[in-house]
Amino acid sequence: MEENQAQEGLPIPSIFKSTDTGAPLERCIDCDYPVLEGDRYYMIEKVFKRYPELNRTEVLFEYAICSVCYEKMKDAMSQESMQNLSAYMMQNTDFQKLQERIEEKPDDPEHWLSHCLIKGTSKEEMNEYQMGACFKGDKLATNFMPPFMVGELAMEEMNALLSKETKDEMDDFMGEHFGIPPELRKDLILI
Ligand SMILES: [Zn+2]
């Protein structure tokens, strides 16, 4: 265990580490920036799919994206989509509940991610959900936003708010990085 963790932020929760190796993600998916060693803030996003009949949960995508590329992605989204998304988040996010969960277990970010931030549905009741969090080096950074989990219903509603232009942009991003065809891209929302 490292010293001074409390002062410097929590370590990367294991749920945000590589599904294959269990090690932290090291590079930005877009520009290859060494996020783990570097100074840039970065986001890690993961999309999970649960197969109840197989009693299994799989990770559909996971990646780290550095702040520079993240801003570029956001800039590429249409003004209209951005406004719609932030209005939706402001109106629908249950910040109160999130705050309660953080206070319940301040050192356990996975507990904060137990329910959809928007709908309040528990992870166990959903077949698809997405998680994201912000990091700097090997520490969780919560100064911009806390880690979040959003479930299938909220993802669908947010998708419906995106302009065609923005959807095309995201399709390109997903196709380029994951070889994901557009019809599957709906599984990911950049927040
Ligand atoms: Zn980058």
Q: What is the pLDDT of residues 66-119, one digit of tens each?
A: 999 999 888 878 888 889 988 998 899 988 898 899 899 999 988 999 999 999
Do residues 125 and 164 make contact, with C-beta atoms less than 8 angstroms apart? no
Distance of CA 26 from the midpoint of ligand 1 (Å): 11
Q: How far apart are CA 3 and CA 46, in angstroms?
A: 28
Do residues 9 and 35 make contact, with C-beta atoms less than 8 angstroms apart? no
Distance of CA 62 from the midpoint of ligand 1 (Å): 15
Distance of CA 99 from the midpoint of ligand 1 (Å): 30
Tokens of 148: 């979040």
User: What global pTM score does this model have?
Assistant: 0.86
